[in-house]
Amino acid sequence: MSEPASRPAAEQAAAPLSGPACGRPAGARAAERPAAPTRAAAARDPWPVRLDRVSVRRGGRAAVDALTLRLDPGGVLALMGPNGAGKSLTLRLLAGLIAPDEGAATWAGRPTPPRGAVGVVFQRPALLRRSTLGNVTHALALAGAPRRARRARAMALLAQAGLTHRADAPARALSGGEQQRLALARALACAPALLLLDEPTANLDPRATAQVEALLREVCAQGVTALVVTHDAGQARRVADEVAFLHNGRLTERTPAREFFARPASPEGRAYLEGRLLL
């Protein structure tokens, strides 16, 4: 990353993600990896994903306030900030799940994301009353995958997530960590270019957190770009290439992760890392 950490937030918002690829989790075999994205998938890439001075109003106030942010392919961006900073709303804007009250959200210059180009994983996965395998084959059906190819593709995704031994188990009987890895596998069924994760390990124990992070690193090594909303500074240190810090709905800085944790460019980021209250 050649740009200095102290550059203004408006300039940082336009910086592309970039960073090192990470290896696959221990025990995963390369032969079990899902097939690489096809040219058809590349044709529906959303880049750049842009939020241009977007605002979202909730309860008479701007929960997201004139926010400008640009995502380009490559790496992991951690979206950090205190409660109420607007992180989850920003993720929903980037996913096209909500529209801004002001400003514009665009994907490759279009007002809606290409179908299947953006995958989303929430803090509490909404799993279907089906088997683990059935949750993924259903997602593949919605994505338009040929019926004859769905089972093999789904099993490859479950293998990547370390869930082949749970393929026939009811999805809702899985542990919290297994459910979150299933949610990741399901989100990958459409071969998205961009993966958005909203506090994906907030309710998990350290072992389950490590498994989800390992899966995320493998996914990014295969060329998927990720944005992770997290309160966990340790997690951001482990997985992120860049950090974007929000406070009161505004972007205060966007900085390479190593520089953010060593020398935050904004007073708000510095106060957050020091454990001081942000009002």
* Domain presence at residue 39: no
Q: Could you give the number of structural domains in the chain?
A: 1
* Domain presence at residue 150: no
**What is the predicted pLDDT for the residue at 279?**
82
What tokens were used for 222? 């295969």
On whether the CB atoms of residues 201 and 224 are closer than 8 A, the answer is: no
- What is the secondary structure of 98-151 as a DSSP string? S--SEEEEEETTBSSPPTTSEEEE-SS----SSBHHHHHHHHHHHTT--HHHHH
CATH code of the domain containing 239: 3.40.50.300
**What is the predicted pLDDT for the residue at 158?**
99
Per-residue pLDDT of the chain (279 residues; tens, 9 = 90+): 333 334 445 444 544 443 322 333 333 333 344 544 443 455 579 999 999 999 999 999 999 999 999 999 999 999 999 999 999 999 999 999 999 999 999 999 999 999 999 999 999 999 999 999 999 999 999 999 999 999 999 999 999 999 999 999 999 999 999 999 999 999 999 999 999 999 999 999 999 999 999 999 999 999 999 999 999 999 999 999 999 999 999 999 999 999 999 999 999 999 999 999 888
Domain assignment of residue 75, given as a range: 67-129+186-274
* Domain presence at residue 60: no
* Domain presence at residue 56: no
Number of residues assigned to the chain? 279
**What is the predicted pLDDT for the residue at 34?**
53
Q: Identify the helix (H) or strand (E) that includes residue 65.
A: strand 61-71
* Domain presence at residue 3: no
Where do we find the tokens 């082949």?
A: 164
* Domain presence at residue 84: yes
